Structure 1
Amino acid sequence: MSDTRSGVRPSGKERHFKPEELIVSKTDLKGRITYANDLFLDLADFTEQEVLGQPHSLIRHPDMPRCIFKMLWDEIASGNEIFAYVVNMGKHGDHYWVYAHITPTFDAKHQVIGYHSNRRVADPKILKEKIIPLYAELRKIEEGAANRKDGMNAASRVLAQKLSDAGMAYDKFIQSL
């Protein structure tokens, strides 16, 4: 599958970082990158000049379900924090998994003015046993629909039903893994 960035395709090569390291980025309200730490830049093979002002989706991997991103954006736009497993893709198609903590950034009047994300190493066992199969199922639903919006909505309904069947909200599901 091709990414929207100039035909960049996933290379199949996974990149890793150390458990004590932390990827940090900040965006404005529209998701444009305003800050990226050195680890972000190193893993994604971008320079600071290449990412500043660009949409954070610059590192979106095509295997990442759109319904998960919609849920993330809905939560943080509402002023809530969220934790999620995310697969990102670097400039040359290499990927890396993260356990992300995404929070809104507030001004002195408690208005959301941007977003902040800290990402840690994702647990490989959780990825293999829970997240990768779930994301593959959601992507299959998304890709099987007549259009992108219908696919995202159908996958969102499946995810909501799975969470309902488990008797937990998304944040509790993620914390239970």
Structure 2
Amino acid sequence: MRRPEPTQNERFFEPTEIIVSKTDTRGRITYANDVFCKVGLYSETELIGQPHSILRHPDMPRCVFHLLWQRIETGQEIFAYVKNLAKNGDFYWVFAHVTPSFDTQGGIDGYHSNRRVPERRAVETIAPIYAALLAEEARHADRKQGMQAGVALLQAELQRIGMEYDAFVFEIAGLA
């Protein structure tokens, strides 16, 4: 499936709605609820089997997804603000809660994500940080080095403000 050209149009969903998806361990979508389909403008058939990265907006720094995968692959949950890309190129912000799913032997057999409407002040706080991380990543010709530089910049910013990642995410959401 071809990635659409991003527009400047923002899509919204109701605070009472929750976007839900499940993936296998490689990040391929195995379940998408009706809210996910509605907001992203995809049919369930179009989403099932696709990599979840189909929604990745080019404004999202790779280092955020690196942090996400580091956490969930080790069995931990993570909360993150994510700017997603709809099928028509519009964007929408979510406050994502991603958790591993476990089989009966305790091994990870996939991932589950619930995404809610983020507080607007959180989006206004995180967007310029993501822009700085993205700019740092772009300064490096090697994608891996760029991602590592983004991670280092994020860690330096968190250290500067004296907060761990999770505390920061909840603080800007007004949940701390």
TM range (shorter): over 0.9
Counterpart check, 1:75 vs 2:71 = yes
Counterpart check, 1:145 vs 2:137 = no
Question: Letter of the aligned partner of 2:62 in structure 1?
Answer: R
Structure 2: runs of 5 or more not aligned: none
**Aligned twin of 1:105:** 101
Could you report, residue by residue, the CA deviation over 1:132-153 in whole angstroms, capped at 9, with x for unpaired residues? Answer: 0100000011111112111111
Distance 1:27 1:64 in 2: 20
**Aligned twin of 2:164:** 169
Question: Letter of the aligned partner of 1:56 in structure 2?
Answer: H
Counterpart check, 1:158 vs 2:153 = yes
Q: Is the 8 A contact 2:6 2:85 kept in 1?
A: yes
Query: Kindly tell me: are residues 56 and 7 of structure 1, through their superposed partners in 2, closer, same or farther at Cα, counting changes over 3 Å?
Result: closer
Distance 1:146 1:140 in 2: 12
Q: What is the DSSP-based 3-state SS (H/G/I as helix, E as strand, rest coil) of the residue aligned with 1:125?
A: helix
Could you report, residue by residue, the CA deviation over 1:79-104 in whole angstroms, capped at 9, with x for unpaired residues? Answer: 00000000000111010000000000
Q: What is the DSSP-based 3-state SS (H/G/I as helix, E as strand, rest coil) of the residue aligned with 2:112?
A: strand
Matches within 5 A, 1:6-155: 6=2, 8-128=4-124, 130-155=125-150
Q: What is the DSSP-based 3-state SS (H/G/I as helix, E as strand, rest coil) of the residue aligned with 1:113?
A: strand
Q: Is the 8 A contact 2:3 2:54 kept in 1?
A: no
Equivalent residue pairs, number: 172
Question: Letter of the aligned partner of 1:69 in structure 2?
Answer: F
Structure 1: runs of 5 or more not aligned: none
Pairwise CA RMSD: 1.0
Q: Which portions of structure 1, spanning 4 or more consecutive aligned residues, are displaced by more than 2 angstroms?
A: 165-168
Using the TM superposition, give the Cα deviation of residue 166 of structure 1 relative to its aligned residue in structure 2, in angstroms: 2.4
* TM-score normalized with structure 1 length: 0.94
Using the TM superposition, give the Cα deviation of residue 74 of structure 1 relative to its aligned residue in structure 2, in angstroms: 0.6
Question: Letter of the aligned partner of 2:163 in structure 1?
Answer: M
Question: Letter of the aligned partner of 2:145 in structure 1?
Answer: D
Distance 1:91 1:125 in 2: 26
Using the TM superposition, give the Cα deviation of residue 45 of structure 1 relative to its aligned residue in structure 2, in angstroms: 1.0
